[in-house]
Amino acid sequence: MPALPFALVAIVCYLAAGLWQSLSLARRVTERPNWVRGAGLIALLCHTLIVGVAIIGPYGLHLGLTQSAALVGWLVVALLLLASLFKPVLNAGVCVFPLAAVTIVGVVGMPSRMIESGVSPGLYFHILSSIAAFSFLAIAAVQAALLGFQHHALKRRHTGGIVQVLPPLTRMEQLLFELIWCGMLLLTVAIISGFVFLDNLFAQHLAHKTILSLLAWLIFAGLLAGHHYLGWRGQKAVRWTLAGAGVLVLAFFGTKFVLEYIFHYNA
């Protein structure tokens, strides 16, 4: 099945949804959350087909850099659209939708040849829990960036524009920590399942990913402990969230890039 037509539809819908959400944040157009969700859903359905074609192969799963990025993009959008029905998180689509479009461009234009063959059910569970954890914490990073902007603007007494559209500061912080808690629980499951189902998490091709994942876990755990016991919030919460997400990006995509494009490692 040719993926290009579905890719074009998904990219156009993602960019349209992201652009409209950006303009509504800037108060250039009226808010249309249902329209944004509709465009995002159409893009997500096309994205689903693209991910299926790109990942599922006759000899195993293709889980190289671009396929993994497309899968993460798909899950982040799915979680965002679902959560937006209950929580005011659709503003994160300003970053999420365009980045999802970029992952589609990558997987269609530069598909990786890395194949995960002979994968056990336990390893599948580890992979899926890792991707789910990364997806929640990626949304948390976008939420942190919006919170940081809002906090900075309110400090300078700028109460117009985007700040007027965003939920109250306390609600934004509450959403941030809810996302971090969900991501941390999944990241904990992913790390434990890795130790259980992988022969050696500190093998040469996995060591950097393992160490960086543990470091990210410690950063987010430190943030949650600081928030609970010391009342950390505001810019401190933003900085810790972005630092943890940055380390996780290096763990998830940095190691894949090095293995595939520098050492030409094929699982």
* CA–CA distance, 49 with 100 (Å, rounded to integer): 14
pLDDT tens for each residue of 193-209: 988 887 766 665 667 88
Tokens 């040469």 belong to which residue? Answer: 204
Residue 259's pLDDT band (boundaries 50, 70, 90)? low
Q: Are residues 172 and 111 in the same domain?
A: no
Q: Are residues 96 and 152 in the same domain?
A: no
Q: Say which residue, 98 or 160, is predicted with more confidence.
A: 98
pLDDT (average), residues 232-242: 94
Q: What per-residue confidence (pLDDT) applies to 200?
A: 66
* CA–CA distance, 218 with 54 (Å, rounded to integer): 34
Q: Are residues 159 and 129 in the same domain?
A: yes
Q: What per-residue confidence (pLDDT) applies to 160?
A: 64
CA distances from 109 to 67, 103, 258 (A): 11, 10, 19
pLDDT (average), residues 84-110: 93
pLDDT (average), residues 212-216: 94
Residue 163's pLDDT band (boundaries 50, 70, 90)? confident
Q: Say which residue, 56 or 140, is predicted with more confidence.
A: 140
In the listed set 117, 143, 160, which residue is the last one of a domain according to the structure? 117
Q: Say which residue, 167 or 181, is predicted with more confidence.
A: 181
Q: Are residues 241 and 133 in the same domain?
A: yes
pLDDT tens for each residue of 101-114: 999 999 998 877 66
CA distances from 66 to 84, 100, 203, 219, 246 (A): 27, 12, 23, 27, 18
Written as one string, the DSSP assignment of 192-241 is: HHHHHHSS-TTSTTTHHHHHHHHHHHHHHHHHHHHHHHH---HHHHHHHH
| 3 pLDDT higher than 90 | no
pLDDT (average), residues 227-240: 93
List CB contacts of 221: < 8 A, sequence separation 6 or more: 184
> Is-contact 141 241, C-beta < 8 A?
yes
> Is-contact 131 68, C-beta < 8 A?
yes
Q: Are residues 96 and 161 in the same domain?
A: no
Q: Are residues 45 and 130 in the same domain?
A: no
Q: Are residues 87 and 100 in the same domain?
A: yes
pLDDT tens for each residue of 67-79: 889 999 999 999 9
Q: Are residues 141 and 184 in the same domain?
A: yes
Residue 161's pLDDT band (boundaries 50, 70, 90)? low
pLDDT (average), residues 130-154: 92
Q: Are residues 107 and 135 in the same domain?
A: no
Token pair listed for 62: 């293709």
Q: What per-residue confidence (pLDDT) applies to 117?
A: 53
CA distances from 42 to 71, 116, 159 (A): 16, 29, 34
- Number of Cβ within 10 Å of residue 74's Cβ equals 25
Question: The domain containing residue 170 runs over which residues?
Answer: 119-267
pLDDT (average), residues 16-41: 91
Q: Alpha carbon 246 to chain centroid distance? A: 11
Written as one string, the DSSP assignment of 103-152 is: HHHHHHHS----EE-S--HHHHHHHHHHHHHHHHHHHHHHHHHHHHHHHH
Token pair listed for 83: 């959560």
Residue 159's pLDDT band (boundaries 50, 70, 90)? low
Q: Alpha carbon 74 to chain centroid distance? A: 9
| 19 pLDDT higher than 70 | yes
Hey, CA dihedral for 44, 48, 49, 54, is it positive or negative?
Answer: positive
Range from 39-48, 52-61, 253-262 that averages highest in pLDDT: 39-48
**Which of 65-68's residues contact partners 24+ apart within 8 Å by CB, and which partners?**
65/106, 65/112, 65/114, 65/253, 65/256, 65/257, 65/260, 65/261, 66/103, 66/106, 66/107, 66/110, 66/111, 66/112, 67/107, 67/111, 67/112, 67/114, 68/131, 68/252, 68/253, 68/256
Phi then psi dihedrals of residue 64, to 5 deg: -80, -170
- Evaluate if pTM is beyond 0.85: yes
Q: Are residues 143 and 248 in the same domain?
A: yes
Q: Are residues 101 and 135 in the same domain?
A: no
Q: How many domains does the chain have?
A: 2
Mean of all residue pLDDT scores within the chain = 87
Q: Which of 37-41, 66-70, 134-138, 141-145 has the weakest average pLDDT?
A: 66-70
% of residues, the chain, pLDDT over 70: 88
